[in-house]
Amino acid sequence: MTARVGVVTFPGSLDDGDAARAVRIAGAEPVRLWHGDPQLHGVDAVVLPGGFSYGDYLRCGAIARFAPVMETIVDAAQGGLPVLGICNGFQILCEAHLLPGALTRNQHLHFRNRDQILRIESTGTAWTNAFQPGQEVLIPVKNGEGCYVADSATLDALEAEGRVVARYLGGNPNGSQRDIAAITNPAGNVVGIMPHPEHAVEALTGPSLDGLGFFTSVLKHLVGAPA
């Protein structure tokens, strides 16, 4: 039976179509979810895509966090539903308190768009089990508010608990503390990543195929999950 992966569209979403295509290429059925509809329509996992939800008013992700669909997603994620937040989706996960810390304005105050090398630090999550620990991947980054910040106690806990999922290599594009590019919750089902794996799934349009592993990982996870 084909896994069904929901991709949420908020007002101002930019990369929902790309995320849905990545889900399809990985071998799952993409299911488009609408911000105003609290129903998840029986999906097995959810992707919160990149973009500028609600115009990034107040703070990036601050309004999207109150969307009807997010109330359902928060409850489902706490129950084990795999959720991947990409860029703006990462910001939304932090605003919804599914992940700690916050994403703030890039330290250099410029929007940064480039192909970025990452090192995969944790392969024990629902979204990274297809990688090897320490594997280096090439994935585009494009953000203006991508600087991950948290207090020292939170950063130390993320390190100690193995919850840093990926780090920037070859230069930090936004000033994120400890070069953090992605983190996970304690259960490993919720992952937030600032770079865009959905833009690295096809040779024609991406710098590599390295992003595909995030989407095939969740299918592997779902196969092994208890019924």
Could you give the residue numbers annotated as active site?
A: 87, 196, 198
Query: In this predicted structure, what is the pLDDT of residue 55?
Result: 83
Closest CA to 105 of 158, 48, 155, 175: 175
The per-residue pLDDT for range 45-70, each reduced to its tens digit, is: 999 999 999 887 777 888 999 999 99
Query: In this predicted structure, what is the pLDDT of residue 60?
Result: 81
Query: In this predicted structure, what is the pLDDT of residue 144?
Result: 86
Q: Where are the domains of the chain?
A: 4-224
The per-residue pLDDT for range 140-163, each reduced to its tens digit, is: 999 988 999 999 999 999 999 999
CA torsion through residues 30, 19, 213, 188, sign: negative
CA neighbours within 13 Å on the CB side: how many for 120? 22
Please state, in angstroms and rounded to a whole number, the distance separating the CA atoms of residues 209 and 220. Answer: 18
Mean pLDDT calculated for residue range 118-128: 98
Other C-beta atoms within 10 Å of 68: how many?
Answer: 13
Please check the confidence at residue 26 and state whether its pLDDT lies above 70. Answer: yes
Q: Which of 31-35, 60-64, 101-105, 185-189 has the lowest mean pLDDT?
A: 60-64
Mean pLDDT calculated for residue range 105-133: 95
What's the angle, vertex CA 210, arms to CA 206 and CA 214, rounded to 5? Answer: 115
Query: In this predicted structure, what is the pLDDT of residue 225?
Result: 64
Q: What is the third-level CATH fold of 4-224?
A: Rossmann fold (3.40.50)
Query: In this predicted structure, what is the pLDDT of residue 227?
Result: 46
Please check the confidence at residue 27 and state whether its pLDDT lies above 50. Answer: yes
Quote the longest CA-to-CA distance of the chain: 47
Contacts of 224 (CB under 8 A, 6+ apart): none
CB–CB of 56/32 below 8 Å? no
Question: Cα-atom radius of gyration of the chain, to the nearest Å?
Answer: 16
CB–CB of 222/44 below 8 Å? yes
3-class DSSP state for residue 65? Answer: helix
Token pair, residue 202, equals 């096809």
Please state, in angstroms and rounded to a whole number, the distance separating the CA atoms of residues 29 and 23. Answer: 7
Q: Which residues of 96-119 are buried (b: 16+ CB within 10 A; e: fewer)?
A: bebbbbbbbebeeeeebeeebbbb
3-class DSSP state for residue 180? Answer: strand
The per-residue pLDDT for range 64-85, each reduced to its tens digit, is: 999 999 999 999 999 999 999 9
